[in-house]
Amino acid sequence: MTTYVVRPTGPLVGALEMPGDKSISHRAVILGSLATGKTTIRGLLEAEDVLSTISAFQAMGVSIHRRPGENCRIVGVGLRGLRAPRSDLDLGNSGTSMRLLCGVLAGQTFRSTLTGDQSLLTRPMERVTTPLQKMGASIRVSAGGVAPLDIEPVSRLNGMDYRMPIASAQVKSAILLAGLYARNRTIIREEVPTRDHTERMLEGFGYPVDRHTSQTVLQPDGALHAADLTIPGDFSSAAFFLVAASVVPGSRIELHGVGMNPTRTGLLDILQSMGAKIEINNSRTAAGEPVADLVAESSDLRGVDVPAALVSRTIDEFPVLSIAAAHANGATRISGAKELRFKESDRIATVVAALRSVGIEVSEQPDGMVIEGGVIQEGTVDSRKDHRVAMAFAVAGAGAAGVVRILNCANVATSFPDFAKCSQRVGVKLREEKTA
């Protein structure tokens, strides 16, 4: 077991390069594998979740060459070139890998089984498998609507006109990937816009996508062509340092090359509404995605009611937003975020319990929480093996009145393997303890 021990720190100061965006890295590997030709990816996230996606495609005959810190090169096999894996595809802790691969494998001519670790085997999958089944996919879920998932070949999938019942970029992406194998066009309608990384990357690989504010149309019988990509820095990783700089007095942290896709930056809008001092500099484009450098400084935060329109754009950042709320003057109300209950942990219950363990008053709601600003005290937090909760409460420890211990932090490696080193680089007094 890995435990973080974080002591209160002085001002946090420094400049950091953020690791490659996890969501974009997954999609780059998937589409590079399904393209024709050699794709080069710079800045690919070297984390366990992305490595699970890479291993799955290698098991299906795709040549992927990578060395830590160097470019990743993929020799794509085309849409119809995947081969049947010799065994079940083990995706570790990666829900993104499993849900997106459902879409890819639904259109193949071979049988496959998707499995993962104990945590992944508890997460709901019917939200993905049900719409794919409407397209004609043959997918059998295990009892309770969870993995392992058994996928049988079908002659061909049918496109459909689908209105998203929930705001989920993973579900949308699985349908779009299945649409690559459909006999007619696929239309997805969203009431609440979600991450559009898949749509942007399809366009980057030369596949025509007709995009409007609330509708995406994918035509059949297109092709993916090899691309040369640079992955932007992960905004979700940057979020921890934006909050850390905001809540620790005297701090100033620069973050370089951060992805600024507007479907991802809800936390930035929320923090600024709370009074955070965050500058956006040197805006540019990489891999079809907006990128910028961010500078965050300490500030006096005030509690806010999080607008419903920002929930889907902030869904991965709510654990660290809770730390900003714990430092704010007044109450912060989060609602409309029931999706948090279906992440690596039930993030509403996990965050509420963690905040209480360090002396913060918080009330749990069915779809969110109400956090009363105060002073984070010494305490022990159980992250329940949720990487984003673990990192969020390391930030809490940096601005606490005493030592904060965070249990079950090993899964931080799934998304941000260098989190501890980056934190130490800007002055966080974080020590890792490992026990059998």
User: What's residue 342's pLDDT?
Assistant: 86
| 151 touches 111 (CB < 8 A) | yes
pLDDT of 254: 98
**pLDDT value for 307:** 93
> What is the model's pLDDT at position 243?
98
Residue 282 has pLDDT above 90, yes or no: yes
Counting Cα atoms < 13 Å in the Cβ hemisphere of 336 gives 14
Please give the pLDDT value at position 297.
98
Domains along the chain with CATH numbers: 2-20+232-434 (3.65.10.10), 22-230 (3.65.10.10)
Residue 214's pLDDT is 86
How are beta strands 252-259 and 63-65 bridged, if at all?
unpaired
Please report the pLDDT score of residue 355 as a whole number.
98
**Mean pLDDT, all residues of the chain:** 96
Is pLDDT above 80 for 213?
A: no
Residue 12, C-beta contacts closer than 8 angstroms, at least 6 positions apart: 241, 244, 245, 248, 251, 252, 253, 398, 426, 427, 428
Local confidence band at 368 (pLDDT 50, 70, 90 cut-offs): very high
- pLDDT beyond 90 at 68: no
Active-site annotation holds for 316: yes
What single-letter amino acid sits at 37? G
pLDDT beyond 80 at 436: no
pTM: 0.91
Q: What is the arithmetic mean of pLDDT over 29-50? A: 96
> Over the stretch 76-127, which tens digit does the pLDDT of each residue have?
999 999 999 999 999 999 999 999 999 999 999 999 999 999 999 999 999 9
Considering the candidates 316, 382, 386, 418, report the single residue annotated as catalytic. 316
Q: How far is Cα 126 from Cα 296, in angstroms, rounded to an integer?
A: 40
The pLDDT of residue 432 is above 90: yes
pLDDT at 241 over 80: yes
Q: Which residues pair with 187 in a beta bridge?
A: 161, 217
pLDDT at res. 125: 96
